[in-house]
Amino acid sequence: MKIDYDVNLYKKIANFSVNEVVQVSNRKGRRSTIHITNITKLSWQDLQLLVSAGSDRFSKMVFIYREYSSKQQVSESVIRGKPLSENESKEINEYIKIFREYNCTKHHEVNEIIAQSGRWDNFKTIRSLNDHGEHKEIEGIQPQYFEIVCNILKISGEKGLPLDGYKKY
């Protein structure tokens, strides 16, 4: 379905603020994370992963805008993927905020800042005690959230020690 371009509607979409993290999978099953903040800045690939309806960029943006601006439960029939819970989104956004504010380059730097400031209780949903072999029970975040943060920040785990296990606390 194609929706005819409307400059006024585009302006509404451009000024509409969203703060949603959605995990989607492509046809081959490869998962990726999309952080929706400004609908007009989503890439064509993100739009395709998020919305099956709509034959062009504007139409897909309109479907996303309508879904999020309706202030109802986001329907999986329109937005593909699994939105994170409110707590997951809040904690991941806070974790990323610390990462950026302190110009961190590695996760362990953020984890140390959180530990030194006594803020791990602000991350009850995503936190874990991680086992890196010789280093056990290191405060950090669960692997699935580690992956989401890496995707949003477009970074990798780099040369960190592999994770042997973790437990929520």
- Structure confidence by residue, pLDDT tens digits, 42-59: 999 999 999 988 899 999
Separation of alpha carbons 10 and 7, rounded Å: 5
Locate tokens 């993927």: which residue? 81
Let me know: does 116 contact 154? Beta carbons within 8 Å. Answer: no
Tell me what pLDDT residue 166 has.
86
Tell me what pLDDT residue 161 has.
66
What are residue 24's DSSP bridge partners? 32
Helices marked H in the chain: 7-15, 44-50, 57-69, 86-101, 107-116, 143-153
**Whole-number CA gyration radius for the chain:** 18
Tell me what pLDDT residue 133 has.
74
Tell me what pLDDT residue 71 has.
66
**Which residues in the chain show pLDDT less than 50?**
77
Cα 26 versus chain centre, distance: 16
What's the pTM value of the predicted model, to 2 decimals? 0.65
Tell me what pLDDT residue 31 has.
82
Tell me what pLDDT residue 10 has.
96
